[in-house]
């Protein structure tokens, strides 16, 4: 099913075109060849792409395929959070063996959106694409309820198991913001980023012992250690222009007195360019795909994220928040 979530500014409007990977006449990479009504293929020119912008303007998307033997109900979290910025264009397309499949959207916390897909056997294809201008962030103090939720141990961040380690290894300053940044610095120096080095069930403790991992492992260890030293922390999945290798990305958000501050211990992408997807206790709440019923095998996954213009420079010290 083709769901045109936003289509206010594109040069070609639905159903004339769908994005997902060419380079338009203006020189910008779009997420597939633009398909024009009638079956012809061209490089479309979107007037909004040529407009000068003061804020970061990003283009993100993904293409996923699943093999289903019998039936499946999938919960997808691939759409940019509704709070992330101003949407110039957004489209979600789900098909089963080339035929449209119905999609139900569920609004969740922090602007997140879960898309539910139910279908029978066959090849399921998910294509998502969005052009978003990130809004100027306004600091919103964490609520007591949010801090209580974010300071407790969770499935992949068992902070209670790290108390003795943190007491022996980490000398923490009194300011919660400084603690969060120091934990991020410590994780950055302790772990080695190694694609494919961890599995979906590894916890922050496993990562600490292994000394290596991918972005979710860095984020899990950061979140767990922050909670251990009394700093509420949560995990956020994001699109990350500049990250390499390109994939869905995960970062920590830590609660200070006046804001939720982004801590990315991988330092693989500038924090100013990140676009929020989902927010939760750990990866169990923010996975891009969760099987609720039946079974499905992820066959292929392709993610794209880039900005129109130069990437911002991140000094890794100044506070950055996500809208």
Strand partners, 252: 235, 263
Cite the DSSP H helix spans in the chain.
144-151, 163-169, 176-190, 204-210, 215-228, 283-286
Between 9 and 145, the higher pLDDT residue: 145
* Partners of 300 in beta bridges: 65
Classified as helix, coil or strand, 220 is helix
Q: Give the gyration radius of the chain's Cα atoms.
A: 20
| Tens-place pLDDT, residues 53-92 | 347 999 999 999 999 999 999 999 999 999 999 999 999 9
- Per-residue pLDDT tens for 104-163? 999 999 999 999 999 999 999 999 999 999 877 778 899 999 999 999 999 999 999 999
Helix (H, G, I), strand (E, B), or coil: what is residue 235?
Answer: strand
C-alpha pair distances (Å), 137 with each of 83, 153, 251, 320: 10, 29, 17, 9
List, in sequence order, every residue forming a beta bridge with 66; answer none if it has no partner: 124, 298
Are 269 and 241 contacting, i.e. CB atoms less than 8 angstroms apart?
A: yes
C-alpha 295/C-alpha 18 separation (Å) is 29
pTM to 2 decimal places? 0.82
Contact 83, 111 (CB under 8 A): yes
Residues sharing a CB contact under 8 Å with residue 127, sequence separation 6 or more, in sequence order? 18, 20, 31, 32, 61, 62, 63, 64, 91, 92, 93, 94
């Amino acid at each position: 099913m083709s769901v045109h979530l936003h289509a206010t500014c594109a040069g070609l409007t639905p159903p004339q075109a769908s994005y997902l990977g060419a380079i338009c006449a203006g020189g910008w990479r779009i997420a597939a060849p633009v398909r024009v009504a009638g079956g012809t293929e061209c490089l479309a020119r979107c007037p909004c792409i040529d407009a000068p912008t003061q804020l970061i303007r990003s283009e993100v998307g993904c293409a996923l395929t699943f093999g289903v033997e019998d039936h499946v109900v999938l919960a997808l979290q691939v759409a940019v959070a509704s709070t992330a910025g101003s949407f110039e264009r957004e489209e979600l397309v789900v098909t089963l063996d080339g035929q449209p499949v119905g999609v139900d959207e569920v609004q969740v916390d922090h602007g997140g959106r879960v898309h539910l897909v139910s279908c029978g056997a066959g090849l399921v294809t998910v294509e998502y694409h969005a052009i978003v201008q990130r809004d100027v962030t306004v600091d919103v103090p964490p609520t007591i309820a949010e801090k209580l939720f974010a300071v407790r141990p969770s499935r992949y961040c068992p902070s209670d198991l790290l108390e003795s380690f943190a007491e022996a290894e980490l000398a923490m300053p009194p300011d919660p913001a400084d603690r969060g940044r120091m934990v991020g610095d410590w994780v950055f120096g302790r772990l080695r980023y190694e694609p494919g080095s961890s599995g979906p069930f590894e916890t922050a403790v496993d990562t600490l012992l292994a000394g290596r991992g991918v972005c979710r492992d860095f984020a899990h260890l950061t979140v767990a250690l922050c909670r251990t030293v009394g700093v509420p922390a949560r995990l956020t999945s994001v699109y990350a222009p500049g990250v390499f290798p390109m994939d869905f990305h995960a970062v920590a958000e830590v609660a200070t007195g006046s804001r939720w501050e982004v801590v990315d211990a991988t330092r693989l992408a500038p924090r100013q360019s990140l676009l929020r997807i989902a927010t939760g206790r750990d990866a169990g709440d923010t996975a891009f795909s969760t099987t609720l019923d039946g079974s499905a095998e992820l066959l292929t996954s392709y993610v794209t994220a880039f900005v129109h213009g130069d990437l911002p420079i991140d000094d890794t010290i100044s506070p950055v928040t996500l809208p």
